[in-house]
Amino acid sequence: MPPAETNAPITGGCQCGAVRFSAERLGRASICHCRMCQKAFGGFFGPLVTGFGVVWTRGEPGWFRSSNKVRRGFCADCGTPLAYDFGATAIELAIGALDNPELAPPAIQVNPEHKLSYFDALMSLPTRQPGEAQQADDFLAGIVSHQHPDHDTSTWPPRTE
């Protein structure tokens, strides 16, 4: 499936807002099952999309050279995974770091030899719906997010005067 078409700017950034980026356009989105992506994202896989014309618009990512061929960008303040750079003309961006992740539906899975044995069965797990666990509902209702909003801001964090 190709990336969703949009006339809106393609932007994104980390949770705390210290690092923001924009891209001219997106390419193919993928799910990488390699062990390095699992560890870098702290999850079952690494969701990435090719970003063309990427510019860091606020701050710069920290970089970790995860192999002799790749470096991974992240926010040094909050730890959000942001990028995968293997030295090409484009850079891979973390899909979840996009302000609108719906722009990058994955089109392919790569490195299936490292896929966790239970991955394919995850969608068959039961889903807890709102109203089924009052304690969980109460906990979620009391959350006040300190996360940067899903759009560019002129300043961050907001002034509290």
pTM of the model: 0.87
Report pLDDT digits (tens) over 48-65: 999 999 999 999 999 999
pLDDT tens digits for range 69-107? 999 999 999 999 999 999 988 999 999 999 999 999 999
CATH class of segment(s) 10-141: mainly beta
Whether the per-residue pLDDT at 160 is higher than 60: the answer is no
Whether the per-residue pLDDT at 24 is higher than 80: the answer is: yes
8: Cβ contacts below 8 Å, ≥ 6 apart: 100
pLDDT for residue 1: 47
Which residues have C-beta within 8 Å of that of residue 50, sequence separation ≥ 6?
Answer: 26, 27, 28, 29, 90, 91, 92, 93
Q: Which of 36-40, 57-61, 149-153 has the lowest mean pLDDT?
A: 149-153
Is the pLDDT score of 2 beyond 80?
Answer: no
Tell me which amino acid residue 97 is.
A
Residue-wise pLDDT for 97-149, tens only, equals 999 999 999 999 999 999 999 999 999 999 988 888 888 888 888 888 878 88
Predicted confidence at residue 7, as pLDDT, reads 65
For residue 21, pLDDT over 90 is answered with yes
Q: What does the pLDDT average to over 7-16?
A: 89
